[in-house]
């Protein structure tokens, strides 16, 4: 009986050791599969991540209860980075030089403002073919007024709108959305931005702009 007990004990120990070894092998295989999957996703994301140089033009104006204005021509130039989180989902931060402004009969002139603007898009890209994608994107932006002018039509005088005489805030923030068609290394699309920060603390006026954008991806 003692010998049989020892044999059974030895068998149980061997069985437990075998099961532990087997479980460890399964864990190693699982970790290997997960690591390979993450490496594949990372490599795929890096291949889809691109730097884009872009330029655009369109119309700008102000909106709000105190906005009695007309549109004026606006443009932007900048650079952005398509950071691929998956094959279809992207985060796209950028830096732009963007002009905004408006025309107004009330001031008998026009106001032009140039901002350093930083948009951050969340984008979803729908594959249309092997070489073409439709991107829908939206997100926040912040911008800082570099310079601006208030031009009086009747005499051509200019005033810096961001100094103490001009009275407009340099800081602006809002939302921006757009759609684009990516084909090869090129992208063409449209964007709309709407400010959420008042231009003047005493007036309900907010920037808005709409334009076409052309980009080239590296």
Q: Residue 164: which domain range?
A: 49-217
Which pair of tokens denotes residue 107? 């001031």
Distance from C-alpha of 141 to C-alpha of 136, rounded to nearest angstrom: 16
| Alpha carbon distance 122, 83 (integer Å) | 10
CB of 75 closer than 8 Å to CB of 57: yes
Q: Please report, in tens digits, the pLDDT of each residue of the chain (218 residues total).
A: 555 555 545 555 555 554 445 556 666 666 666 555 555 445 544 556 789 999 999 999 999 887 778 899 999 999 999 999 998 999 999 999 999 999 887 666 788 999 999 999 999 999 999 899 999 999 999 999 998 887 665 555 677 888 876 678 999 999 999 999 999 899 999 999 999 999 988 888 999 999 999 999 98
For residues 33 and 125, membership in a common domain is answered with: no
Same domain for 105 and 119?
A: yes
Do 28 and 126 lie in a common domain? no
* 15 plus 60 within the same structural domain: no
59 & 116 share domain: yes
Can you tell me the distance from the alpha carbon of 77 to that of 60, in angstroms, rounded to the nearest whole number? Answer: 15
Looking at the DSSP bridge assignments, the partners of residue 120 are: 93
The answer to whether residues 161 and 70 belong to one domain is yes
Does the model's pTM come out above 0.85?
no
DSSP string, the chain: -HHHHHHHHHHHHHHHHHHHHHHHHHHHHHHHHHHHHHHHHHHHHHHH-EEEEEEEEEEEEEESTT---B-EEEEEEEEEEEEESSSSEEEEEEEEEEEEEEEETTTTEEEEEEEEEEEEEEEEEEEEETTEEEEEEEEEEEEEEEEEEEEETTT--EEETTSTTT---SEEEEEEEEEEEEETTEEEEEEEEEE-S-SSTTS--EEEEEEEEEEEE-
Q: Could you identify the residue written with the tokens 């400010």? A: 195
Measured between alpha carbons, how far is 161 from 168 in angstroms, rounded to an integer?
6
Residues 6 or more apart in contact with residue 10 via CB below 8 angstroms: none
Claim to verify: residue 142 and residue 158 sit in the same structural domain: yes
Same structural domain, 38 and 56:
no
Number of domains in the chain: 2
């Amino acid at each position: 009986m003692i010998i049989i007990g020892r044999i059974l004990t030895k068998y149980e120990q061997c069985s437990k050791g075998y099961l532990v070894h087997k479980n460890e092998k399964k864990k190693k295989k699982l970790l290997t599969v997960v690591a390979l999957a993450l490496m594949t996703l990372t490599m795929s994301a890096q291949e889809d991540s691109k730097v884009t140089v872009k330029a655009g033009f369109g119309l700008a104006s102000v909106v709000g209860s105190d906005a009695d204005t007309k549109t004026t021509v606006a443009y932007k130039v900048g650079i952005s980075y398509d950071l691929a989180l998956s094959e279809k989902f992207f985060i796209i931060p950028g830096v732009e030089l963007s002009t905004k402004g408006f025309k107004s009969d009330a001031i008998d002139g026009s106001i032009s403002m140039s901002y350093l603007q930083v948009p951050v898009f969340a984008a979803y890209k729908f594959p249309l073919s092997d070489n073409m994608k439709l991107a829908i994107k939206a997100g926040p932006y912040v911008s800082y007024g570099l310079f601006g002018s208030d031009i009086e039509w009747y005499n051509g005088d200019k005033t810096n709108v961001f100094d103490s005489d001009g009275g407009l805030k340099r800081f602006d923030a809002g939302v921006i959305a757009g759609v684009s068609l990516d084909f090869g290394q090129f992208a063409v699309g449209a964007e709309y931005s709407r400010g959420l920060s008042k231009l003047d603390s005493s007036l309900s006026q907010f920037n808005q702009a709409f334009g076409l954008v052309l980009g080239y991806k590296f």
